A and B are shown apart, each in its own frame.
Chain A
Amino acid sequence: MDYFCLRLNKMLEKTLVDSIKTIDSLTQAQQLALGKFIDKGFPTSKWEEWKYASLKHLNERDWKWSPEKLSVDFSKPQWKHSAIIQTLNGNTHSEGALPQGIALLPMSEFMAQNPAFDSVWKARNPILDQNSLYDLNEALVNDHAVLWVKKGVKIVEPLLHHYLVSGQQDTAVQSKLFIYLEEDSEITWFEQQRSESSHAILSNFVQEIWVSKNAHLTLIKDQDLQQSITHVDHTFIFQQESSLVDAFTFSINAAYLRNNLHFYIDGPQVVSNLNGLYIPGEDQLMDTHSVVDHRMPHSESNELYKGVLMGNATGVFNGKIFVRPDAQKTNAFQSCKNVLASDRATMNTKPQLEIWADDVKCSHGTTTGQLSDEALFYMRSRGISKATAQTLLLLAFVQQVIDKLEHEEIRAELSDKIVNKIQASLGLTLL
């Protein structure tokens, strides 16, 4: 580590340690994580996994590490939902009663009630290489909330998760949530990630999800944050035998948006579906790092990602698929298609398949292109303006991902949001 880096990290260390009253108040795991983070600091472009999405500049900020307490009158959606759970600047609580068979409780209580799970949990072994933000989160979050879905509980209406970060000054917000789905349970988790601040906010969110045998999770992330926000979302999903997860990530707004979405397939007959759409505009960077780790045989993963890059936006897609030696008869598919809707936009893609088993079916395809001039001219020759023609073509392009959402109202809501963003971006940036 060079001197400059060392000095920066000293500053991080000072403000961090100052914010923690006594270092002894931290658990051993927290102290360990804190040390790791201070050693490494925020990722820089020299780190392979953060090559196009450096956070080096965050080292230089005078962060407030303890965010203020928030209370928010949350406007409920018009459509039917089974519960509202809020995570406001890291504090998670439910608005009103939870449905029968679902509990929200601290991790310590959850572990006390499930002592056998402790060793299983500790052996989960996620890939944390070059992820100092996970360490930072671990260092500062103690006893986070657990959403516990009991055995056989099936909830049809979505559970709405309202995630919000805010601050009156530059603030680093750590949030963490663990979702535990017992055997044969089923929920739809619709997460609205939002911010309310004109200050630089680092929103560092860790979400770990345990999906037991035969359980079914639909996970929808609607990421629409302000231009002052740096949002890093780590979602690690551990799937057991015969479980099914349909994940959707809609990355709509934020100056910097990084998704580390990991699937660990720990049993046979698992199905993991990853759908994603990112539409960064002027001065926005959106980076998806997905991992699908096939550790057990006879499972299937499908990745469908699409990106529309407007203005001077930067996009990154890194899709890792691991097929471990034991994971015979795996089917793993990955597709990532991007449209550069502006001459100034950039897209960096890197599919990364590592296959150790010999009896598998894997495929991947990545494309990055521009809207066809022929198609644009054809549309314009009928009287459709260039901006409308571009919008129509882009909306047709993203529709495939939106159409996979089964919930009608959520689909309509997201679709409107995406249309508005694309139209606004094309109107603002002369192409």
Chain B
Amino acid sequence: MLSVKNLHARIGEKEILNGINLEVHAGEVHAIMGPNGSGKSTLASVLAGRSDYEVSEGSVEFFGKDLLDLSPEARAAEGLFLAFQYPVEIPGVSTTNFMKSAINEIRAYRGQDAMDAVQFLKMFKEKMAYVNIDQTLLSRALNEGFSGGEKKRNEIFQMAVLEPKLAILDETDSGLDIDALRIVAEGVNKLKTPQNATILVTHYQRLLDYIIPDFVHVLYKGKIVKSGNKDLALELEERGYDWIISALD
């Protein structure tokens, strides 16, 4: 579904992605790991369409469409989802209203009828159970005054509601205690189907104890320098990144 070829991206003069190649198919879970500053979050942001980055070379196809040509909202409507490392506070807009707007705009994009209040209520109830999230949290202004765990849980709730074909989770484990991590990971696992795919961007192996990846890629200096299966993550946990880096430099 996703085909990234020779992707280069930069902020100003600073080259951050330096020729990424990545193929993701339905049903797969990919983990992207790497030391700080290797370009992991940049890759997630570029795929979701953050305008701070300039793509200078390469291509990204999503179900055969040129992803880089689409606005962030069109990417979402095509089935891409980014769970933010730092979910943004949206004062004065509740999660419920936020999600209603999102759903109905996406439905309009796909040529579907808008959902009514009753349908929303039913759907929200169902999805709330998935991620063990409380109604009161959803009525509050989105992310405003939420704890780190509440923010991440809310991200997974949004993912459950939007049912993306490809979910990119950017450092979803950062700032979570072990219980919150388990709840979030369970949510992600429940949402997994043979039709969708997940990219986990993470610094630590910890998350991969709960969400088992099919592929593990190591990103360094804006390039994927090593790929393997879940055993690679365990090896990284044990030996760190140095052995890969020193082999390169």
Residue ranges of A at the interface with B (Cβ–Cβ < 8 Å): 372-375, 377-386, 388, 392-393, 395-397, 399
Beta-carbon contacts under 8 Å, B56-96 to A? 71-73, 75-77, 81-82, 84, 87-93
Top 7 closest pairs, chain A to chain B, by CB: A396-B92, A383-B76, A380-B72, A378-B88, A383-B106, A382-B102, A383-B102
Contact B49 A386 (CB under 8 A): no
Interface centre among A378, A385, A388 (most CB of B within 10 A): A378
A377's partner among B72, B106, B141, B162 (CB-CB below 8 A) is: B72
Residues from chain B with a CB closer than 8 A to the CB of A372 are: 88
Interface flag for B54 (CB, 8 Å): no
Contact B50 A377 (CB under 8 A): yes
Known contacts A383-B106, A384-B105, A388-B101; A378/B73 CB under 8 A: no
Contact B101 A378 (CB under 8 A): no
A385's partner among B73, B84, B97, B162 (CB-CB below 8 A) is: B73
A/B pair count, beta carbons within 8 Å: 77
Interface centre among B84, B89, B92, B103 (most CB of A within 10 A): B92
Contact A382 B93 (CB under 8 A): no
Contact B76 A380 (CB under 8 A): yes
Known contacts A385-B73, A386-B73, A388-B105; A379/B92 CB under 8 A: no
Known contacts A388-B105, A392-B101; A380/B88 CB under 8 A: no
Cα A374 to Cα B93 in complex, Å, equals: 15
Contact B105 A383 (CB under 8 A): yes
Contact B76 A392 (CB under 8 A): no
Contact B105 A374 (CB under 8 A): no
Residues from chain B with a CB closer than 8 A to the CB of A399 are: 92
Contact A381 B51 (CB under 8 A): no
Q: Pick 8 A–B contacts, CB within 8 A, sort by A.
A: A378-B84, A378-B87, A381-B76, A382-B158, A382-B162, A384-B105, A386-B73, A396-B90
Nearest-neighbor residue (CB-CB) of B84 within chain A: A378
Residues from chain B with a CB closer than 8 A to the CB of A393 are: 90, 92-93
Cα A373 to Cα B93 in complex, Å, equals: 16
Contact A380 B91 (CB under 8 A): no
Cα A386 to Cα B88 in complex, Å, equals: 16
18 other A-B residue contacts (CB within 8 Å) besides A375-B89, A380-B72, A382-B158 = A374-B88, A375-B88, A375-B90, A377-B49, A377-B72, A379-B90, A379-B98, A380-B73, A380-B76, A381-B81, A382-B76, A383-B73, A383-B102, A383-B103, A383-B106, A386-B73, A396-B90, A396-B92
Contact B109 A383 (CB under 8 A): yes
Interface flag for B216 (CB, 8 Å): no
Beta-carbon contacts under 8 Å, B91-130 to A? 91-93, 97-99, 101-103, 105-106, 109
Residues from chain B with a CB closer than 8 A to the CB of A381 are: 48-49, 72-73, 75-76, 81-82, 84
Cα A397 to Cα B93 in complex, Å, equals: 10
Contact A382 B51 (CB under 8 A): no
Residues from chain A with a CB closer than 8 A to the CB of B88 are: 372, 374-375, 377-378
Residues from chain A with a CB closer than 8 A to the CB of B98 are: 379, 382, 384, 392
Contact A384 B82 (CB under 8 A): no
Residues from chain B with a CB closer than 8 A to the CB of A395 are: 92
Beta-carbon contacts under 8 Å, B160-182 to A? 162
